[in-house]
A = this chain, B = another copy of it.
Amino acid sequence: MNRIPFEELKMMLSGVLVRLGFAQERAERCAQLFAETTRDGVYTHGVARFPRFVAMIRNGSVDVHAEPVLKTRLGAVERWDGCRGPGNLNAEFCMERAIALGRVQGVGCVALGNTNHWMRGGTYGWQAAEARLIGMCWTNTMPNMPPWGGLDPVLGNNPLVIGVPRAKRPVVLDTAMSQFSYGALEGYRTRGEQLPVPGGFDGEGELTRDPAAIEKSQRVLPAGYWKGSGISIVLDMMGAMLGLGLATHQLGNDPLRETGISQVFLAVDPAAFGSADERERIADAIVSSVERCTPAEAGRRVRCPGERTLRAREENTRLGLPVDAELWKQILGM
C-alpha cells in the first residue's frame, strides 16, 4: 500500500486523461473527483475504479469530448443529454444546475439521460450540502440484483444519495439498494471473513453470510428484502422516464459497456422555507439525539451518515492517499 499526496495523485490521473484526449481543465476536474473519493475513504469508487474508467474510454463507452446538451427546460426543471461523456463530470454539472434552479425556485430538478457511471454518488450529495442546499440524487445501473421473490438479476442496485447541509458538517447518505456491493463481497472473501449480516442467497436458495456463496449464485440481497427491491424499481422508473436514458433492463451485463444510463438530481434550498437560524438548531439537535444513543457494543458510537468521510479525509490528507501498490504501478504505466 502506497501513500500518495493528494496533488501528486491528482496530477498523475490528470496526465493520463490528457493523453486519452481530455481537454486540460476537464482532465483536472475529473482527476480531482477520483482523488477526492479515495481521500474521503470510499476506496471502491475512487482511484481503484480508474483503470475501468480508462478501459471504457478506450472501448468507446465514454466519450472524453462529450459535454451535456440541454434538451428541455421549464420552470424549475431541466433535462440534459449526457452524450455518453464522463459520468462524474456530467453528474457534477447536473447537480450544479439543480442547485442553481433551487436557489431561484426553492427546488430544482434536473434529469440526465445517456450518461455514464457517476463513480461515487456521495460526491453530489456533498456538493449540494456544501452549497447549503439539500441534495437528493439517484442513478440506475446495469442489472445486478434479483428482485425480492425472484431469481434473475433484473434490477440495478441503483444508489440513492441524500445530502443535508449543516453549519458543522453535512449529513450525507450514499446507499445502494443492494445490502452489499459485489466489491464489498470480494473484500470480505479476500479477508476470509463472513458478512456481518446475510447478504444474499447460496446455491440452495438459503440466506447466507458467506460472500463466496453469493458471488457464485449471483443472488445479492436487496437491502431490507422487499423494501430495497421496491425502491430500486421506482428509482429506475423515475430515472428513465425523466432522463429518457436507458432503463436497467436495457443495460446488458458487461460492466465495461454500462453506458447510456439515467440519473435525477434534486436540490432544495432550505432558505426558501424561512427561519434560517431555527434550521441550524433543528439539524444539530437531530444529529445530537442520534449520537447520544446508547451504543449496542461498548466502546463504539452511533454515527450519522457521512461522519466517517470526514475522519478519512483528515487522515488521508495528513498521511497521503492509500493506493494499492500494484494499482499505482499500473497508473504510472498508463
Which A residues lie at the B interface, using CB under 8 A?
A: 71-72, 74-77, 79, 104-109, 111, 134, 146-152, 154-155, 160, 162, 164, 171, 173, 175, 179, 197, 205, 207, 223-225, 227-228, 230-231, 233-234, 236-238, 240-244, 247-250, 266, 268-270, 272-275, 278-279, 282-283, 285-287, 289-290, 292-297, 300-305
Please tell me which one of the listed residues B105, B207, B236, B300 contacts residue A76 in the complex, with CB atoms under 8 A apart.
Answer: B105
With a cutoff of 8 Å between Cβ atoms, the chain B residues found around residue A248 in the complex are: 286, 289
Given contacts A107-B107, A238-B162, contact A285 B249 (CB under 8 A): yes
A302 and B242 form a contact (CB under 8 A): no
With a cutoff of 8 Å between Cβ atoms, the chain B residues found around residue A278 in the complex are: 244
With a cutoff of 8 Å between Cβ atoms, the chain B residues found around residue A240 in the complex are: 282, 286
Which of A106, A238, A304 has the most chain B CB within a 10 Å cutoff?
A: A106
Copies in the assembly, this chain:
2
A268 and B233 form a contact (CB under 8 A): no
A238 and B302 form a contact (CB under 8 A): no
A223 CA / B175 CA spacing, docked (Å): 12
Given contacts A77-B106, A164-B238, A304-B233, contact A151 B274 (CB under 8 A): no
With a cutoff of 8 Å between Cβ atoms, the chain B residues found around residue A150 in the complex are: 290, 293-296, 302
Which of A72, A104, A224 has the most chain B CB within a 10 Å cutoff?
A: A224
With a cutoff of 8 Å between Cβ atoms, the chain B residues found around residue A162 in the complex are: 231, 234, 238
A71 CA / B273 CA spacing, docked (Å): 8
B75 and A272 form a contact (CB under 8 A): yes
With a cutoff of 8 Å between Cβ atoms, the chain B residues found around residue A149 in the complex are: 295-297, 300-303
With a cutoff of 8 Å between Cβ atoms, the chain B residues found around residue A160 in the complex are: 231
With a cutoff of 8 Å between Cβ atoms, the chain B residues found around residue A292 in the complex are: 154
Please tell me which one of the listed residues B249, B274, B289 contacts residue A79 in the complex, with CB atoms under 8 A apart.
Answer: B274
B273 and A242 form a contact (CB under 8 A): yes
Which of A72, A228, A272 has the most chain B CB within a 10 Å cutoff?
A: A272
A56 CA / B249 CA spacing, docked (Å): 47
A232 to chain B, nearest CB (A): 9
A152 CA / B291 CA spacing, docked (Å): 11
A75 and B76 form a contact (CB under 8 A): yes
B72 and A286 form a contact (CB under 8 A): no
Task: Provide 24 A-B residue pairs closer than 8 Å at the C-beta atoms, listed in order of the A residue.
Answer: A71-B274, A77-B269, A77-B272, A79-B274, A134-B242, A147-B302, A149-B301, A149-B303, A152-B293, A154-B289, A154-B290, A162-B231, A175-B231, A179-B225, A224-B227, A230-B305, A233-B290, A233-B305, A237-B287, A241-B282, A242-B268, A242-B270, A244-B274, A248-B289
